[in-house]
Structures are given as structure tokens and as C-alpha cells.
Amino acid sequence: MVMSVKMEEKDYYSPPAPFANNPGIIRLTRDLPPAHYLFKINSFSLFAEAESIEKYESGVFESGGYKWRLLLYPNGNTKGNGDGCISLYLQIAETETLPLGWQVNVNFKFFVFDQIRDKYLTIEDAGAVKRFHQMKTEWGFDQLLLLECFNDASNGYLVNDSCIFGAEVFVIEYKAYWEELSMIKQPAGNPISFKIENFSKLDKECYDSPLQSVAGFKWNLSVYPNGDSRSKGTSLSLFLCLAEASGVPPERSLYVEYKLRVLDQISSNHKECSSANWFVANKSWGYIDFESLENLRDSSKGYLVKDSLTVEAEIVLISKVKCDS
């Protein structure tokens, strides 16, 4: 009788005890070689025993538009916590060519080739992005692998006195967009004023005031002396228009709290209405029936004096947005 036994494939690599309880370091295996750099060391034992070799600096390689090298300590970095271990670090190279104040954010992982199983052991910080800058030009691991584990031929890292290390370096380009919102109360330039002479003789449907700058934007008032199409013959229509909005980010609007008024030129008992709207360039907000024509022509109210009318807009609060990348 032949029994079928199902074999469960397991990850053969179990971290040695000193590493097993370090959740900050991830050690996994994979089939694919590193995308950016590999280097092989022959006669590793002679290399490790050489008295004057504390560390080995690899050749320079490029990734993400920057130059890099690996720093390998075959007997561990004794200035760190690398006694009894292989220590390996990534160093940014040719920093003299980088601009003043440079910084580079990087996700990277190291590789050690298992020559028996044809797999790569990968070592990386758990989700950590490392920031390289003038004061910190290298990052890595004091305890990449225990020398006991590395030298054990059954693990496949050191075979026939040769070994292979590698690295993947992924630069995180800074492309974040930022936005700054400010709310400005009673901005400079108020009020927007428009005096209309010979009011009774006006024959156009709409009159626009000259442009006036408030809070760095150009505004004007639009007056319909006999009302616009929705209130024709019954009321004065009055609107505030954002005429020019240079400096406003594309597809953005301005929040504006404002007051519109017709001035009482006798006793300052002005007709005033308050409102709040989101403005975009060439967009008007206001009132189709701001004041009845009957009241407007009532001389006791003081709106029309010597056949002149004065209207105003006061911007009480306005938003201002700055965006950049």
C-alpha cells in the first residue's frame, strides 16, 4: 500500500535567537535578485582575516537619480553593536554634487544570496523611510547576520568561501502639494464705492464701476438702475463681481462675507444687506431686488440727491489660499 504524503512548503529561514524578537527588522526570502546592485566576494575568509580591512566600500551605483555605495564590515562594526555579526550599510555617494540643504528619503533593503536553495534573504527595516542628509549619510544594520549563521555552510550564504550581497534602493521623490488657507478680516482697500451721476437719464441696462483692489484682488460693482431681467421696472439690482483673480489657484474660489449698500446722502441711514458667497473670477453675487424703485426715488430717504446715487460694497471677511508643490 502506497501512502500519499502532502509536503507543506515552509520558509526555511528562521532568524537566530538574538534576532527573533526584533520586530523592527524584517527578514524574508524571495526568488528575485535585487534590482539595483549585487557584489560577490571570493576568498571571504582571507578578506575577513586581513588585519587592515575593517570595512569594504563597494563601487558606486546609481538609483533614483542619486549615487550610492555599500559599506560591509566582515567582522562586524565594533563601533556600533556589530560584534559577532556581519554589518552592512547604505551610504549616499558624491554628496558634493548635491545642492545646499539636500535631503533624500529612501526605502531600501539588503540581500544575501543563499547559494544552496537559489534564494535571496532580504533584510529591511519594518516600513521605515530613511532620510539621508548632510549630517546622516549612511543607514544600515549593525547586526545584518550573526557570523555563526553566515559561516554555517548549510545556510548557503558562504559556499566555497564565496558570498553575494546586494541592495535595492528606492528613492521617494518629494512631490507633495501643500495648501495654506488664511481668513482676512476687514482687508485693505475697503469700501468699493461707485457714484452714478444723472441717474434719471440713464439709458443702459447695466453700469459697472471702475476696478478697485481689495485684499489683492480686483473687484467692481454692477448696477442695474431699472432692475435686471428678473426685476425689471420694480427694483434696483446690485451685484459685487470678482473681476480679476490672479493669484487664486486654478479651480479654486474665494469665500467672501460682504455688505452691499445704497448710501443715504442726507442722514446716513443707508440701505444695507449682508451676504456670504464663494466667488470665482468674473462671477457676480448680489441682489436682483436690492431696493424698490419707489423707495429709491423717495427724496425723504436721501438715496438720490441732485440726481446722483452712490452704492458701496464692503468686504468684511475673505479667504486667501496659497498652493505650491
> pLDDT by residue (tens digit) across 68-109?
999 999 999 988 888 999 999 999 999 999 988 899 999 999
Q: Which three three-digit cell numbers place residue 12?
A: 526555511
Instruction: Give yes or no for residue 67 having a pLDDT over 60.
Output: yes
Higher-scoring residue by pLDDT: 5, 82: 82
- The reported pLDDT for the residue numbered 37 is 96
Torsions phi, psi of 242, nearest 5?
-85, 100
Give the model's confidence band at 325: pLDDT under 50 very low, under 70 low, under 90 confident, else very high: low
pLDDT at 19: 57
**pLDDT at residue 4 greater than cutoff 70:** no
Model confidence pLDDT, tens digit, residues 123-152 = 998 877 999 999 999 999 999 999 999 999
- Give residue 282's region: left, alpha or beta (phi > 0; psi -120 to 50): left
0.85 exceeded by the pTM? Answer: no
Where residue 12 falls among pLDDT bands split at 50, 70, 90? very low
Q: CB 205: neighbour CB atoms within 10 A?
A: 13
pLDDT score of 165 = 97
**What pLDDT score was predicted for residue 250?**
79
Look at residues 116, 123, 112 and name the one whose alpha carbon lies nearest to residue 24. 123
CA–CA separation, 303 and 82 (whole Å)? 88
In this prediction, residues 277-285 reach a mean pLDDT of 93
Whose CA is closest to 115, among 150, 141, 144?
150
Q: From CA 300, how far away is CA 313, in angstroms rounded?
A: 23
